[in-house]
Structure 1
Amino acid sequence: MEEFITNERIANSIMQNKSFKGYYLIVEGPKDSKLYGKFFNSDKVSIKEAFGNQRVQDIFKILTERGFDKKLGIIDSDFRKITGNEVDIDGIFMTDDHDIEVMIMKTKALDDVVRVFCSQSRVQAFEKEKGISIKNKIFDLGKEIGYLKLANKTFDLGLVFKPKNPEGNHLKYKNFICDKTLDFLGTDKMITTTNNYSVNKSSKIESIQVISERLTETKETEYILEQLVNGHDLSQILYILMKKVLKSRNRMLQDHNSIEDSLTLAYDLNDFKETYLYEDIQNWSEQREIEILLT
């Protein structure tokens, strides 16, 4: 359905709505809309989903060319702050970290969600056994596949990490992260799993040997962890932890999507106010003498 909604159609819907006199916030998708909708004044800001990072920028450009200036956009940083390819467009803002899920999981929201879904005694036993907090453990595991994704982007390895459509089959994280102990099973299994998943989804995939060499080369450089890890990976890892390792029986814990929804609910305005993203939008709105953020 989303692929049939063109950038022009979204831009047209914005410009043709004469009943709304406020600003339009253009975001990547439904999850962004749910999160940011909590922090903007709904009387003054209407949120439009663009269905993609690049599409936010493309719709923004169309509106600019048509002389429509009552707009702003928010996109995930992805690897841009690592590669130095940051978006420099007035009115488009990037997340502090790789994406909104990483931004959320840095905060107490992660602890709140784990507390709701899991027995505290099991959480404490796990952290004592591993000698590390749950937050640090999932970020450490996310770093492994984060490096692989960065290598894939840098060297065009042809790997695919997610289905084309949300309802498609997902990468099997349990093939390289043990669903009994949450231990990393090694880069070889991670590469093999990702390579097998990419078959018939990519036009050209490099050999296992080349992928391994490029990954080793990429890992020679240390990056800011929050820029390297991907929130989707973290939520998948967190699901394995809570469902399989900590054996949560909470019926609301269905998959990684239920975790991301719960994190969105747990993340509040005070958390958002601590971000550079909030500060940048606030400064931008003050320059235009408008009040679009909740305070």
Structure 2
Amino acid sequence: MTGDITANRIANAIRMKDKNKTKNFLIVEGITDQVFFNKFIEKSYCDIEIAFGNLNVIAVVQNLATGGFSGAIGIIDSDFRVINGEIFGEGPIFLSDFHDLEIMFISSDTFSDVLNAYNVEQKLASQWKSYIDFRMHLFEIVKSIGHLKLINNRNNYKIKFKPDVPDGKYIDYSKFVDIKSLAYLGDKELIDTVLKYENQQAKINVDRKTLLEDIKNLDKNIDKYHLCNGHDFMQLIALALRKNISNLNSNAIGHKQIEREFALAYDSRFFKTTNLYSKIKGWEQNTGKIILNC
């Protein structure tokens, strides 16, 4: 179980691997991050370790630094930190340019590259003029989900949007998105779906009426790239491919497969334009250590 993997355990494992002090380590949150960065690390100098969550990434890097290990950096999702005005200064730990890495993938030409593989152009063109229009449509839906997640984050309502374990059951997005038109059915349907989500084991200290009022009063002038969660985007893309836009037999497509395909398709042309890339290269220059191969 990933919940049993502590930061101290991961840090000690890294020390054991690097007895000869010849390796640097890139600490990431999860499997998609590992798939993505594995393309870009210089493997003769750097290994990747999954810490299973942003708090563990921070704790692992701090644990190593406290013990005098200077060859580790961490990468975590920005989440709502920019929107909430949080100043992040936790040592050699760098944030994604946008809410998460997946939004970085989606915001590049990788979006059309991945969808092209599913032969979607004809069906997509019948509803939207272009990939850009389709992406904008999905962004509008994910923004609505993001508003609810931001309200939950700011008010500590303890609403869960995903399972506690990787193989757990996820929210059914078709409960608030029409599978034929991919139209958003509304905030009420979204809230009802989330509140009825079977993973809500802890008591939620908020009701539907309050959440609707919170959404109504929320300042919507928010940067969508920092508001929207890429995992929601991947769920919608998987739903669209299964039910709406693909000409192939796409019934078995899941969001995890889509996330992996985006992570693999996003190449160095796009990565080199990001602030994240610049920060890692800056760290390399300042320390004389090597992480990236590009």
Report if TM-score (shorter chain) is over 0.5. yes
Deviations 1:173-218 (A, max 9, x none): 1111110100010111111111111674222331111111112222
Indicate yes or no: 2:224 matched with 1:228.
Answer: no
Distance 2:104 2:87 in 1: 17
Distance 2:156 2:126 in 1: 42
User: Does the CA-based 8 Å contact 2:24-2:289 persist in structure 1?
Assistant: no
Distance 1:198 1:277 in 2: 36
Aligned length: 293
Deviations 1:218-266 (A, max 9, x none): 2x24111100000010011111222211144245952111111111111
Distance 1:65 1:27 in 2: 19
Deviations 1:15-60 (A, max 9, x none): 1221461211111011111101111111111111100111101111
User: Does the CA-based 8 Å contact 1:161-1:198 persist in structure 2?
Assistant: no
- Identify the residue that residue 125 of structure 1 maps to in structure 2: 126
Deviations 1:61-116 (A, max 9, x none): 11122111111110000101111224212210000000011010001111011110
Distance 1:153 1:182 in 2: 27
Q: CA RMSD in A?
A: 1.8
In structure 1, the gaps of 5 or more residues are: none
- Identify the residue that residue 260 of structure 1 maps to in structure 2: 259
1:260/1:248 CA distance change after superposition, 3 Å: farther
1:199/1:108 CA distance change after superposition, 3 Å: closer
- Identify the residue that residue 16 of structure 1 maps to in structure 2: 16
- Identify the residue that residue 47 of structure 1 maps to in structure 2: 48
Identity %: 32
Letter in 2 for 1:8: N
Distance 1:40 1:84 in 2: 31
- After the TM superposition, which of the residue ranges 103-112 and 8-17 deviates more from structure 2? 8-17
Letter in 1 for 2:256: N
In structure 2, the gaps of 5 or more residues are: none
Distance 2:15 2:278 in 1: 28
User: Does the CA-based 8 Å contact 1:40-1:292 persist in structure 2?
Assistant: yes
Letter in 1 for 2:104: M
User: Does the CA-based 8 Å contact 1:101-1:232 persist in structure 2?
Assistant: yes
Question: Match of 1:80, SS?
Answer: coil
User: Does the CA-based 8 Å contact 1:159-1:198 persist in structure 2?
Assistant: no
What is the TM-score when the length of structure 1 is the normalising length? 0.94
- Identify the residue that residue 201 of structure 1 maps to in structure 2: 201
- Identify the residue that residue 282 of structure 1 maps to in structure 2: 281
Question: Match of 2:194, SS?
Answer: helix
What is the TM-score when the length of structure 2 is the normalising length? 0.94
Deviations 1:133-168 (A, max 9, x none): 111111111101001000011112232100111211
Distance 1:289 1:166 in 2: 37
1:141/1:207 CA distance change after superposition, 3 Å: same
Letter in 2 for 1:53: N
Indicate yes or no: 2:85 matched with 1:84.
Answer: yes
Paired residues for 1:99-118 under 5 Å: 99-118=100-119
Indicate yes or no: 2:173 matched with 1:189.
Answer: no
Distance 1:206 1:36 in 2: 39
